[in-house]
Amino acid sequence: MPLDPSARRFLQAAGAMPQPHEVPISEFRRAVDRLAGAARPEPVSRVQDLTIEGGDQQPLRLRLYVPAAASPLPVVVWLHGGSFVRGGLDTFDAARRSYANASGCLVVAVDQRLSPEARFPAPLLDAYAAVRWAARHARELGGDPHLIGIAGESSGGNLAAAATLLDRASETSVVSFQVLFTPLLDATISMPSATEYGRGHLLTREQLVWCYEQYAPGVPRHDPLLSPLHTPDVEGLPAAVIVTVENDPVRDEGEAYARRLAAAGVPVRHTRIEGMLHHFPGPQAIPLTARLTRDLLASGVAGALGADAGGRN
């Protein structure tokens, strides 16, 4: 279907955004704050900033969002998007608050390292360090150690999906569900939507090529930890919520991943938001994602998987 009028207005308001290779990376980073700046933060029951040991023993900042709901709460560790090179805790503060309130989950937002200063696998190691920390400290935070989820949008979805692969390979798996929103899952950028929507929809195919080069230069593009879509075996991965957007270069890879998971017997809740853009998924995006998360948790699937996975706290 054609662009929704609200998405078209957003695209016009965003104007001719420069491609990242055309401007200093500092300017490209400032641009995402302008895109996110219109969101109004909701109050939540509690917000707390913390610092833990990151993937290479460096300080790693987290921000907890605790909704007004009865404990113990499901815990969602959230990796932010931004083409691997931009974004931070403040950039996505309003989105994390809204998701915590709508989902009833305790959200642990991660300020993972950015590329090109930190390259593959450093941001991924930060993601997994945050997941392990959340599992160890779930009870004291008011969370349920048997309901540890990992989530991310865009490039954060790439990190979240890859972290589930690391977790599955661990002898003490802790992740029982994953939430992937418009995820980047195919570094080959070869799906049809990458061509169909790769120009004129703000996120371009050229930008995707550039961002993978910042994050993982020289890494084979089929490496599963870089391209989770190309994981040879997806059996045993945690139950998933996957949300895609129609007019999005990365739409097809998210939907292909949902089909692969489902075919392997992994419980999946997938939906596509019609008429919207990668950068502007519409006002229904967070409530929809939160509802799918609640549905998944209410089904008992995530809890059952968590109880069966060894190493729970």
Residue 16: band (very low, low, confident or very high) from pLDDT cuts 50, 70, 90? low
Q: Is residue 313 part of a domain?
A: no
pLDDT one-digit tens code per residue, 184-216: 999 999 999 999 999 999 999 999 999 999 999
Tell me how many helices (H) and strands (E) the chain has: 10, 8
Residue 117 DSSP one-character state: T
Based on the structure, what is the number of domains in the chain?
Answer: 1
* Alpha-carbon radius of gyration of the chain: 18
80 catalytic? Reply is: no
> Residue 310: pLDDT above 50?
no
Average pLDDT for the chain: 93
> In which band, very low, low, confident or very high, does the pLDDT at 37 lie, cut at 50, 70 and 90?
low
Return the pLDDT at 90.
Answer: 94
Within 10 angstroms of residue 142's Cβ, the number of other Cβ atoms is 17
* Nearest in space to 208 (alpha carbons), one of 274, 126, 278: 278
- Catalytic-labelled residue, pool 248, 252, 270, 279: 248
| φ, ψ dihedrals at 62, nearest 5° | -125, 160
What confidence category does residue 241 fall into, taking pLDDT thresholds of 50, 70 and 90? very high
Q: What's the farthest any 2 CA atoms get from each other in the chain?
A: 50
250-296 pLDDT per residue, tens: 999 999 999 999 999 999 999 999 999 999 999 999 999 999 999 99
| Segment holding 74, helix H or strand E | strand 73-79
For residues 169 and 162, the answer to whether their CB atoms sit within 8 Å is: no
What CATH number is attached to the domain comprising 61?
Answer: 3.40.50.1820
What pLDDT band is residue 30 in, cutting at 50, 70 and 90?
confident
Indicate which residue of 98, 154, 155, 193 is catalytic.
Answer: 154
For residue 305, pLDDT over 70 is answered with no
Lowest-confidence range among 2-16, 77-91, 98-112?
A: 2-16
Give the pLDDT of residue 312.
33
Residues 50-65: pLDDT tens digits?
Answer: 999 999 999 999 999 9
Distance CA(157)–CA(178), nearest Å, equals 9
d(CA 3, CA 291): 24
pLDDT of 140 strictly over 80: yes
Residue 34 confidence (pLDDT) above 90: no
* Model confidence pLDDT, tens digit, residues 214-224: 999 999 999 99
Residue 202 lies in a domain: yes
Question: Could you tell me which residues are beta bridge partners of residue 268?
Answer: 240
The pLDDT assigned to 31 comes to 82
Query: Has residue 66 been placed in a domain?
Result: yes
Statement: residue 109 has pLDDT above 80: yes
| Beta carbons of 60 and 79 less than 8 angstroms apart | no
- In this structure, how many other beta carbons lie within 10 angstroms of the beta carbon of residue 292? 21
pLDDT at 19: 79
Whether 203 maps to a domain, the answer reads yes
Can 144 be counted among the known catalytic residues?
no
Spatial separation of the C-alpha atoms in residues 305 and 263, rounded to whole Å: 17
Q: Which residue has the tokens 């302008």?
A: 34
Mean pLDDT confidence for 16-34 = 82
Range of the domain at 30: 5-308
Of these residues, 201, 270, 278, 279, which one is catalytic?
Answer: 278
Is residue 167 among the annotated active site residues? no
